[in-house]
């Protein structure tokens, strides 16, 4: 039971991390598109 809980918690954390990374990449590309240079 403990192991299952650990696994599901890890999966949620991984999904959150992936989402954050995905959105920051999209924002970076949008900034790059608009200005023509990388704006961090």
Residue 38 has pLDDT above 80, yes or no: no
pTM: 0.52
Cβ–Cβ < 8 Å for 39, 27 = no
Q: What are the DSSP calls for 3-37, one per residue?
A: HHHHHHHHHHHHHHHHHHHHHHHHHHHHHHHHHSS
Tokens (6 digits) for 11? 């999966």
Write the pLDDT tens digit of every residue in 12-33. Answer: 899 999 999 999 999 888 877 6
């Amino acid at each position: 039971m403990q192991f299952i809980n650990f696994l599901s918690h890890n999966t949620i954390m991984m999904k959150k991390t992936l989402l954050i990374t995905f959105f920051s990449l999209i924002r970076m590309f949008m900034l790059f598109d608009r200005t023509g240079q990388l704006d961090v």
